Chain A
Amino acid sequence: MTRQRAFLGHLYMVLFMVYLLLPLLVMAGAAFNDSKLPTIVPWRGFTLHWFGDLFADQRMWHAALNSILVALAVVVLAVPIGTAAAILINSVSGRARATLYGFMIAPVLAPGLVIGISTVLFWNSLGHVTGATDFFFFNPGLHLSTLGQVSYIAAYVMLLVLARLQSFDQGLEEAALDLGASHGQVLRRILLPHLYPAIGAGAAIAFFQSIENFNVTLFTRGGQDTLTVYVFSQVRSGITPTINALALMLMLFTVVCAVIYETRRRRRAAIEAAREAEARRAEAAML
């Protein structure tokens, strides 16, 4: 009975994997089909010219550059904000903590279009209040996309850093202060090194979340393109398999990143396990 159920479990998992991955493979396959429409049937022969078309598309390159610039700006803003928020919330308790936490988490649960619209309206109203309606900062553009994205991405960084702070021994900071370290040194030499793994993960998540973002960007971009908006407008206005070529490139990039991450993680885990085994042997030898 149990074996039967385990078999069913395996079967379900395999079906699920196929369900998740097959559409992506179909999409990637269509990039090589010599047909004007993005499809794999009927197969009209193998071609690479959709990749050529893609590389020749200036608008795509421009959109990709915009995506990367926005993502970098988001990282630069969201990581310090999220880290500061985690340090701050870790030192308050009770009612104040719950309230702060609620406000910080709200944008994660809020739909992207609400964030987008509210960001545009706020900066635009600020323009009317100050009388500088033409000042570029108060009108839609990628800078507002950046701010809108930061409003919820900073919360992801905050959550990651806050989790890491739980394993931090504040006695270390006390010791450093007692030994005459300055406040800056305490932060730079004691606290931040402990937080680096979480900060690094936060930066990576911020970067990818920003590249992925569609809803906030669509409402705030003010006519500028990012990669997701470019894909969207191409799909809307009649498509050629260049989009499939782009999708394949992005997927390959993703898979390569994931595999590098996984192999590094495994190597580290293996080193850790070897060290532990050695420690155990040494302990046994001493007894």
Chain B
Amino acid sequence: MNTVDLQKQSVRDLNHALHQLPEGNENVGWEILNPGGKHNIACGLDRELNIRVDGHAGYYCAGMNKRADVTVTGNVGVGVAENMMSGSVFVQGNAGQSAGATARGGLLVIDGDAAARCGISMKGVDIVVKGSIGHMGAFMGQAGRMVVCGNAGEALGDSLYEARIYVKGSVASLGADCVKKEMRGQHVQELQELLYANGLNENVSEFTRYGSQRNLYHFQVDNALAY
């Protein structure tokens, strides 16, 4: 186990050290102490590392992550795991805005709540929020799956492309072109798998699926009010 104290070492030094690690150190864990809400902790990783951030992190924690598994024991600021490619990011507290923004792969799990624009422009990531999410969740979501065990704020799934959203609680309102959809067998199965994989003992039948109505896929005069 490597330990880095961010009161004694800069984020730049930490990230540089993590980027320079030779391949093959996969089994070595890293513990980041005293993150103190600092920004850009553990971003741009491309190694099979196991990293634990012991406390709160600021913006873009684990941004653009590839292959690494990162756990944050506290809260995170804006854009946690933004543009993640693979690997996983677990947040044991709450997340600020734009959690998992544009992420193309991997798994983002938030134990608490996520603020506005969770999963904005998501492009293939799986996002599991055990609490609730704020407004504009999955805005322009292109691909991937988002599971919300609590409630969703206003304009969920606005201008959605092909991302799939599952919400257990209430939805304040749906955004343009986002509609409730039937839970067919494949959806029940994928939701069960996502819940099970994350140790969630939820009843799948209590969730509702939301997706794109695909009315905005082509510019048409009849949809002018939605543009």
Partners in one complex: no
B contact set with A: CB distance below 8 Å: none
